[in-house]
Structure 1
Amino acid sequence: MTTIWRFCRIMLDQKSTRGKKTLLFGILLLAVFVYKACQMGPEDMDISWAEKEKCPVCFGNTCELLHRGNFATVRPESGRSWRKGIVSTGKIGDVQVIAKTMSKPEAWRRYEKFICRSSPRPKECNPSSFILETMLVTNVALKLPFLRGAFRIAHPDSKPALPVCLSARFLQEVKKLFVGKETTEMTNGDVTRRAFLSTSLLISEEAVLLRYFTTQPQSPTPWPFPKFYGACGRVIVVEHAGRTLDTFIDSPWKVRADIAAKLLQLVDTLRQTDPDWILFSLDVSFQNFAVDSRGRVRLIDFDDVLVIDRRTVVNHQEQKKVCNEPCYMDFQKKLYYSDQYHCEDILKYTPTMYANVCARILSDLQKHPDWRKWGEEREYIDGQNVEWAPTDKGLLHDPPVEIRGPLEGAIGQCVEESQPGGRLNAVLTLQKMLQMT
């Protein structure tokens, strides 16, 4: 740095034009910037928003991801990203990634309070260390009977979707992913990883689902989800999935038709592609799907996703009766109000995911305003104020004249089938029509 200053003084002593002095001054500023950057280490980055000091009452401790990705606090436009929990953006290699929080502060406070009450030393409790003394890191806490009741610790006013159809096999697979191979004597690291797992299960199903479905190389299914990279404190780091569907409302027809076809293919993947699991998304809206830079459509919201183990499905037949909105709403009531779980016959109801997509996203909402709230029972139960659509337009508004009639007919049959199997046939017709335009 001394050499740079000496050089600059020599140059400034020379008779030079104003332009040369300006250029020299710019070079000097650049040199100072580079010098400062080289002196700054990863520990100088402000990642206080990750709350890593709260671990192991958190999702994980792979905080080097944030340093390596050069994350910084962001102020997303119009608050949309904040509503999705995005607090920072960065890069890992060439991949754009985001850091996002997974639950509201009050949920964390309830969880910490539960830990303190469960601790043998409840006074002056430090949840971050006391969790290691509670049953949350034991085998009892990682079994279905305990979890089904414990989910209400952080979410007393709603019933999360994940525990509804959760199977012992899926829970065991997740446990292996987080904790690794079981040993007779647990190390401090084993106990900490169990704390990460319990916290992830009870605070946010998204942290569990993304980690499980996007990080296993042996998975036979290319799940349409953003990739999970790790967790630091109370944020997870995932691939940036792109722009949400509402930003494509006024795109050219071919762009919207391609997105619509891929959205229907996404539902195909959720309900029938994987040999082990069926995923049933109960919440369909413009903001819950995104299109990345490669044109892939991704599911980005996992608050209301059921995970069904195919081995627990008793009835392997599709619905032999018509299942429209009243049928779908009755199914939700069985899931969320009944003490008995109705997951063994899930195949009767999974085609209604197409109806949700056709009604709420694809259809012309100016002609069918009542479809924007198709099957709204789940949102009503939770008392949510849902923004169903950012506009009266649907994704497939103003189609080419030559396909307008057949397209509207297929969408109508997708929403309200007139005979058993009518919805699935309409979806096939839609996919072919959209791929040809």
Structure 2
Amino acid sequence: MMQRQIFLFFRRHKFFFILLVFIPALFLFKKLDMDFAELQYCPICYGNDFCPPILNGSVKLTRFSSWSFIQLFNSKNVFFATYGQKKVVLKKLGHNFEIRNARENICTTVFKKEKGCNVRESLKVLLNEYYGDVVETFPSLGLRSADIFQCPSQRLVKAILENYVNQLTDLDERSITGMLNFIAVSLVNQEPLLLQMFPASKGWPFPEYYGSCGLLSAVSDEGIPLLRFVNKPWHFRAELVLQILHLADRMSNTDGWSLYATDMTIDNLSVDPNGKVKFIDLENIIVVDRYELTNRRPAKWLRLAESVYDECDSNCLSFSTEDLCSHLNADHNFYAVCRSLLSSYAYRGAGPHGLLHGIPKEVEAKWKLKHWLRECQKPSIKRGRLKAKSQLITALEEIHRAP
């Protein structure tokens, strides 16, 4: 009789007992190990230079990133961690299906083999066709779809490859592995390539790149998302906008390069603990080699490439890759800032001036910011956007200096 009662009790409350067993499992802490980094896919992975701190326990998951059940819903594959005293972000650089497609398509995309291949041997064969010269081999790798390689530049290709191989000709086995890491990154997400080419240590407003382990890329945690600041006092927001305009200026022309952000959304910017604005998602950036352009001198290359305002119901940012690649100067980054951050397209519920909403009357009376914001978005005259950005920078600098 007692056994039957116990049986009936469990039967009636079986859902409760299932939850009792299942829920604690959801909150188990995930461990950083070879499986988490998916090292089994190497050499079709991002590299192994950051594996020691990940595998020896120096890097520890924090916040919700360490909970098993959170990872079921973490479609962006972004995890927060600590590395000693540093806060870091671990990225798989894409959705699971994007990474899987890159692995599955590497033989057809790069080595033109339909039914799979030995990637290491296939790369050696391809290199031999070009006498072991990595730079000469590059055009045959099928990697031109990445934004970073849209504009021709042998100087850029050589500089990036040097981060992955010990030598550019007659590659040893270690460099063959590095070359396969480079191919894997190029097929999934160009961000590590850009972070190494344009490092934070040289003043670029990007996260610091620590390295990669398997299918994990490690970068510095650059603080709080910009979206969290949209309701801060106006003068505080104005200082952030001034930084963003300077950021756009630097990216447009520094050290012989122009970097054009084709996805300048509020989600791709953050504010670090020192109040500095950083661009944290570099997947969609077109790189122009200004020296290469000076040598090639395509038709009308000295004319300013002016972005055309496009009216739409969402944050659509129109651009011409051909124009950006063939002109020494372009106003694209300022168009991106003014349209995507300083207009009603900035974020859900944004007002006409986005991050600069609520301009004080005395500020507007003196500086006419609303006029220059409109001109920056949709210029009424030739080169009007450059004039508008200069006026905005001048005004915001004066406002920032004012007591």
- 1:142-161 matches, within 5 Å, as 143-147=137-141, 149-150=142-143, 159-161=145-147
Task: Give the Å deviation of 1:401.
Answer: 1.3
Aligned equivalent of 1:63, options 44, 48, 51: 51
Aligned equivalent of 2:99, options 93, 108, 114: 108
RMSD: 3.3
The total of aligned residue pairs comes to: 343
Code of the residue aligned with 2:174 in structure 1: it is G
Q: Do 1:358 and 1:411's aligned partners in 2 also have CA atoms closer than 8 Å?
A: yes
Match of 2:360 in 1: 400
Aligned equivalent of 1:302, options 279, 282, 304: 282
Task: Give the Å deviation of 1:225.
Answer: 0.5
Aligned equivalent of 1:194, options 153, 160, 179: 179
Unaligned runs of 5+ in 2: 1-30
In structure 2, relative to structure 1, the CA distance for the partners of 1:174 and 1:150 (3 Å cut) is: closer
SS in structure 2 at match of 1:395 = helix
CA distance in 2, matches of 1:54, 1:88: 23
Aligned equivalent of 1:431, options 390, 393, 403: 393
Unaligned runs of 5+ in 1: 1-43, 152-158, 336-340, 366-371, 373-387
Match of 1:418 in 2: 380
Q: Do 2:376 and 2:384's aligned partners in 1 also have CA atoms closer than 8 Å?
A: yes
CA distance in 1, matches of 2:32, 2:94: 24
CA distance in 2, matches of 1:210, 1:317: 29
The answer to whether 1:85 aligns with 2:77 is yes
- 1:141-220 matches, within 5 Å, as 143-147=137-141, 149-150=142-143, 159-182=145-168, 184=170, 186-214=171-199
In structure 2, relative to structure 1, the CA distance for the partners of 1:68 and 1:268 (3 Å cut) is: farther
Provide TM-score, normalisation by structure 2: 0.75
Task: Give the Å deviation of 1:421.
Answer: 2.6
CA distance in 2, matches of 1:310, 1:181: 25
In structure 2, relative to structure 1, the CA distance for the partners of 1:266 and 1:436 (3 Å cut) is: same
Match of 2:349 in 1: 391
Match of 2:12 in 1: none
Task: Give the Å deviation of 1:302.
Answer: 1.7
In structure 2, relative to structure 1, the CA distance for the partners of 1:256 and 1:83 (3 Å cut) is: farther
Aligned equivalent of 1:53, options 40, 46, 53: 40
Provide TM-score, normalisation by structure 1: 0.69
CA distance in 2, matches of 1:344, 1:189: 34
CA distance in 2, matches of 1:229, 1:356: 29
Match of 2:308 in 1: 324
Task: Give the Å deviation of 1:239.
Answer: 0.7
Code of the residue aligned with 1:89 in structure 2: it is A
In structure 2, relative to structure 1, the CA distance for the partners of 1:166 and 1:200 (3 Å cut) is: farther
Q: Do 1:162 and 1:205's aligned partners in 2 also have CA atoms closer than 8 Å?
A: yes
CA distance in 1, matches of 2:239, 2:112: 58
CA distance in 1, matches of 2:389, 2:273: 26
Q: Do 1:246 and 1:390's aligned partners in 2 also have CA atoms closer than 8 Å?
A: no
Task: Give the Å deviation of 1:162.
Answer: 2.4
